[in-house]
Structure 1
Amino acid sequence: MEQHTDRKTGVIPLSQEEVLCKILVTSDIHGYIYPTDYRTDEERPLGLAKLATLIRRERMHTPGLLLIDNGDVIQGTPLCTFHVKNHPNDVHPSIAAMNLLGYDAAVPGNHEFNYGQELLGKAIKDARFPWLSAGILTEETGETAFGKPYVVKTTPEGVRIAVLGVTTHYIPHWEHPRHIAGWTFQDALETVKTWVPRIREAEQPDLMVVSYHGGFERDLATAEPTERLTGENQGYAICLEVPGIDVLITGHQHRMIAGEVGGVTVIQPGTGGQALGQISVRFKRGADGQWSVRNKTAELLVPDAALEADAEVLELARPLESATQAWLDQPIGRVEGDMTIMNPFACRLADHPFMEFVNRVQMEAAGVEVSNAALLSEASKGFADSITLRDVLTNFMYPNTLTVLRLIGKDIREALEQTANYFVLDAGGEIAVNPAYIQPKAQHYNYDMWEGIEYELDITRPVGQRVVKLTRNGAPLQDEADVDVVMNNYRAGGGGDYEMYRGKPVVKEIQTDMAELVAEYIQRYGTIHATCDGNWRVVKGSP
């Protein structure tokens, strides 16, 4: 039968007894509206403006389709940073674009909390769509902190689609306590187990969708664990342990997934606007007049360089984008010597001038003599010659603050053993990156490099026994010796499986984010010097 789109409904009628509905999904946009590489100002095939072209195209064929965002939308680019620092009272550019595109619902991701409750509250207030997260409750009342745990959309044909929102409950392990004060984070899996049957009974939807800002903890084909089963990601368990779910939208891991797990259609559309997720569901009407799911498919619609970005979305953000680009190009200082990173892997094998600089900024800000820091991105290039704000923000893209913990020597040794897990020996006996830090999600930021101690990691030794040298000021660091160590707040909370930090005394918190600390340091000194004292290295066999 030839198909004709009814432009007034949200569906493509196949016949009076069949109907095809679509759900479009974005996730982990992280403030990428323009298709811009902020390191170079070059155009790339990403961003919400490009996805908007695909969204409008799909709406031409399926008007009224559901459009859902799965979280991490207001943080992640210099555009967002510039907005927060200079125009916090304006509507966030991501929210303005989502309002323009007519989103039906959004789920808060973990990075929605990075700027604190006031900015998050304003983003929610400014949105012309509901925010859904069933597992985040207010301590005072026990009610959902974001108003609605779920929504139900009904098509003109009477097809009822329920969307339950849920956010990874692991947020308190990373986020600054003041940013989440007054809220409790219930286990996401248990929350879904509670709400799905409740929604099924109360609403009797024809399609049950769970939009989960979290990812998969197991390989989708083999069911083998792909990470430590901490509860940060529970997508696989949700599919297999909760009856009644038809579709699971996921995110957080920045993966590109479209498929099925245990009969549940699953999707995850990457990060930064890499792809638009599309769920297509065909319904059939039974003799009793009720709709039932006939089949479901998931696919990723990937923009390419030839796809024109949506002009209206671009124009909406243009003033802020232009101001951001001008701000990024402001020179703030210069480097004497070489602080460039030519090879991120080599940077992690031995002390490097850029990482020494990062640690020295942290130590000066905190007033302590020991620090650890990570190279946050494989795209980090360090500093060369003249330094601009663009250089700073592209090396320090997360709004991390600093925390000083009081540790003992034993804690530091355990932390170094955890860091050493980043490496393995490959088939040829050469040092290589542990695959667990690459797949299913790149986690290079969980490898730390230290200043203020001297150490050596031997990757030929068994896991847990790789620290073959650990001294401070040339003397062995004793297990019970007290040491105040500065690190970012994510790590201080135990993020990245650094369990030895949990519950340790907090000596000091520096509330200024790291990018601002680095910019202020460079502006204060004008010229920074590339130095390297060679206090640590990774080896293959110790003398």
Structure 2
Amino acid sequence: MSSFLELPPISRRSLLSGLGATAALVLLHPFSARAAGNQAHLRLMETTDIHVNVFPYDYYADKPNDTMGLSRTGTIIDSIRAEATNSLLIDNGDVLQGNPMGDYMAYQHGMKDGDVHPVIKAMNTLGYEVGTLGNHEFNYGLDFMFKVLAGANFPFVCANLTKGQLAADPKDDELFFKPYLILEKTIKDGSGKSTPIKIGFIGFVPPQIMLWDIKNLEGKAQTRDIVEAAKAWVPVMKEEGADIIIALSHSGIDGSGPSDKMENASLYVAGVDGIDAIFTGHQHLVFPGPKSWDGIKNADPVKGTLQGKPAVMAGFWGSHLGLIDLLLEKDGNSWKIVDFTSEARPIYHRDDKKKVIADVRDKKEIVAAATTEHEATLAYVRTPVGKTSAPLYSYFALVADDPSVQIVSQAQSWYIKEMLKETKYKDLPVLSAAAPFKCGGRNGADYYTDVPAGDIAIKNVADLYLYPNTVQAVVINGAQVKNWLEMSAAMFNQVQPGAKDADLLNASFPSFNFDVIDGVTYQIDLSQPRRFDDTGKIANADAHRIQNLQFDGKPIDDTQKFVVVSNNYRAGGGGNFPEIAADKVVYVAPDTNRDVIVRYVHDQGTINPTADGNWTFKPMPGTTVLFESAPKAKDFLSEVKTVKIEDAGEGTEGFHKFRLVL
């Protein structure tokens, strides 16, 4: 058995906050405690964006990770059920794809009719009442999806996925799933009396699946606008006697205003008359929660409401359980909501040093259900899935065009060209921005990428791309491309011409902000000061470190439009790059950069990450600079062709010094 089960002792604090393992520790929710004879407390629990993370294990890094895992979420489900008189568990989509276990089951296992997928096995142990679809359910095709979902002990609903062309009236659409489910349940009121209630659930998937999975869905399916579908079906649910209606919206929260076939439409779904509460997902965020939601009108991230109605988004990968607690009151023959609370409860916390502390252990039934597939997945990620024709290393990533960055750019460009080929941006030239992540620095002399030429395994992707970012693309002009690079060039100290062994690297500038843009060529003039300060404001108006910037062999046109593919951090304004922000984003991918690299390796068979030398330093005769890297970097000196690097002797704290001849 792998070490993900080996946890330190759980503290009393953790038990109280997450486990509730004994009756003495269980505290009833105030609604259960105070409900009168004509009132009842109903707790609704949500998982969302599990992405096949059954276990608290990062298959890319090949090590345990206490921030994830349905086996952990399952444990807090038990304690949270115990806090309420009446409770129901739902899932809000994206369960079938997202980590190597999902790929293993789709590509290697060869599921047969009657087989039960490990994530479904795990979910079947927890007693779900209903689920809806996420966009990633379609990544392996419709046949695979239906085969997997057939193993679930609970139904799925989706009101905006059709088998063919959209009908004039949404209620006439030929749907793949029932649009809604009305559960007839018996709940206990405040006096302990059992009484019936009808709870309606309606589900929605992002319409963008028709773009993201066009290969799997073209000619087979179609999607309708989420809000349009809600407005059509909710009145029908009311007519059928639903006392309360819950939206299962695999769609995020966007306050920019409603638009046709909006991807993140949950705020506007909440505004549909008749919907009483809404579960959201897709964005991999937490609601109610902090800063992410500031400034969105009609979204209250403290109380946990959208349009005044209770709402929750429960993180991702099992990191949280979403809770909506309703105090219901009998109104004649039906029920109405008289009070509510919303919460996203985590499975872990961080101590003062930001170290992750697990709050719960694994639920043994889930571990038992999927251990066979977990062990098979470990073997899978440790098995070669392609080859690299050259070594992938980052020892010189801050001083020369680098193979570990090159392969990320190649994968990103390959992906975005496919994604945009049917859009209005299809004819724009594509550039790719990528940065080195593992470059020593504060993380020490062992903190470098080093994958030898030859076989490459899925877990090696963690060496190439450390973070679970998602792919995003912006459209900007040539002048903005240059400013992007000017900001990136703050990686370096200013160097006086003729200096001998000057210190090259700006220690305060993080390597993940040193973007290299592939698709253009350029030089960096170290004799000039940085143009922008850390906030992206001009510090030296006359400074232009970026020289000889060319596209297609000619000086770049400041007005020409480009698609630049990067990640959600950079495209959303991370790093304070001038004019690069969410208003420039034209494509938000459903896929992580890691997954894109894996797909690229699968597609190519053998990757060629040899750096193409599209950037270098402007020559400064008689000038040398020093930088540090790992001692092992000496073995790769002959691999670097675009600059002259010399061994400069032993460095400090395990590093080695190198000299760059400018």
Q: TM-score, normalised by structure 2?
A: 0.59
1-structure distance, mates of 2:436, 2:118: 24
| Residues 160, 516 of structure 1: alpha-carbon distance in 2 compared, 3 angstrom cutoff | closer
1:118 aligns with 2:172: no
| Residues 487, 326 of structure 1: alpha-carbon distance in 2 compared, 3 angstrom cutoff | same
Paired position in structure 2 for 1:453 = 520
Give the superposition deviation at 1:358: 3.8
Are the counterparts in 2 of residues 335 and 385 from structure 1 also a CA contact under 8 Å?
no
Paired position in structure 1 for 2:99 = 77
Match of residue 278, structure 2, among 248, 253, 258: 248
| Residues 397, 251 of structure 1: alpha-carbon distance in 2 compared, 3 angstrom cutoff | farther
Paired position in structure 1 for 2:262 = 231
Paired position in structure 1 for 2:403 = 353
Matches within 5 A, 1:374-523: 383-386=449-452, 388-392=457-461, 414=476, 451-454=518-521, 471-472=550-551, 474-476=553-555, 514-518=597-601
- Larger RCO, structure (CA 8 Å, separation 6 or more): 1
Matches within 5 A, 1:5-404: 14-38=35-59, 39-62=61-84, 65-89=87-111, 90-139=115-164, 143-156=173-186, 157-200=195-238, 202-218=239-255, 225=256, 231-239=262-270, 241-258=271-288, 259-286=304-331, 288-304=332-348, 305-330=358-383, 339-340=393-394, 352-359=402-409, 372-373=431-432, 383-386=449-452, 388-392=457-461
| Residues 337, 397 of structure 1: alpha-carbon distance in 2 compared, 3 angstrom cutoff | closer
Paired position in structure 1 for 2:653 = none
Give the superposition deviation at 1:234: 1.6
| Residues 106, 188 of structure 1: alpha-carbon distance in 2 compared, 3 angstrom cutoff | same
How big is each residue's C-alpha offset from its partner over 1:281-302, in whole Å with a ceiling of 9 and x where there is no partner? Answer: 111224x343222211111221
Give the superposition deviation at 1:215: 0.9
Paired position in structure 2 for 1:533 = 613
2-structure distance, mates of 1:177, 1:376: 30
Are the counterparts in 2 of residues 396 and 515 from structure 1 also a CA contact under 8 Å?
no
Are the counterparts in 1 of residues 437 and 465 from structure 2 also a CA contact under 8 Å?
no
* Structure 1 residues not aligned, in runs of 5+: 6-10, 219-224, 399-410, 432-444, 491-495, 502-511, 538-543
Of all paired residues, the percent bearing the same amino acid is: 26
Give the superposition deviation at 1:325: 1.4
Paired position in structure 2 for 1:401 = none
Are the counterparts in 2 of residues 217 and 234 from structure 1 also a CA contact under 8 Å?
yes
Give the superposition deviation at 1:377: 11
One-letter identity of the residue aligned with 1:353 = P
Are the counterparts in 2 of residues 18 and 285 from structure 1 also a CA contact under 8 Å?
yes
1-structure distance, mates of 2:584, 2:555: 22
Are the counterparts in 2 of residues 217 and 229 from structure 1 also a CA contact under 8 Å?
no
Give the superposition deviation at 1:91: 2.4
2-structure distance, mates of 1:174, 1:449: 27
2-structure distance, mates of 1:379, 1:107: 39
Decide which structure has the larger Cα Rg and report it: 2
Give the superposition deviation at 1:306: 3.6
Give the superposition deviation at 1:64: 6.5
Give the superposition deviation at 1:340: 3.5
How big is each residue's C-alpha offset from its partner over 1:3-38, in whole Å with a ceiling of 9 and x where there is no partner? Answer: xx9xxxxx9994532211111101111111101122
One-letter identity of the residue aligned with 1:69 = D
Are the counterparts in 2 of residues 335 and 384 from structure 1 also a CA contact under 8 Å?
no
Paired position in structure 1 for 2:23 = none
SS at match of 1:74: coil
How big is each residue's C-alpha offset from its partner over 1:516-538, in whole Å with a ceiling of 9 and x where there is no partner? Answer: 542686x858xx7763514499x
One-letter identity of the residue aligned with 2:272 = V
2-structure distance, mates of 1:419, 1:129: 50
Are the counterparts in 2 of residues 114 and 179 from structure 1 also a CA contact under 8 Å?
no
2-structure distance, mates of 1:341, 1:176: 40
One-letter identity of the residue aligned with 1:308 = R
1-structure distance, mates of 2:310, 2:181: 19
Are the counterparts in 1 of residues 393 and 448 from structure 2 also a CA contact under 8 Å?
yes
Give the superposition deviation at 1:170: 2.5
Give the superposition deviation at 1:244: 2.1
Are the counterparts in 1 of residues 224 and 261 from structure 2 also a CA contact under 8 Å?
no
2-structure distance, mates of 1:187, 1:76: 25
| Residues 377, 128 of structure 1: alpha-carbon distance in 2 compared, 3 angstrom cutoff | farther
CA-based RMSD: 5.0
* Structure 2 residues not aligned, in runs of 5+: 1-25, 27-31, 168-172, 187-194, 289-303, 349-357, 418-428, 440-446, 468-472, 492-511, 525-530, 539-543, 569-581, 588-594, 618-662
SS at match of 2:204: strand
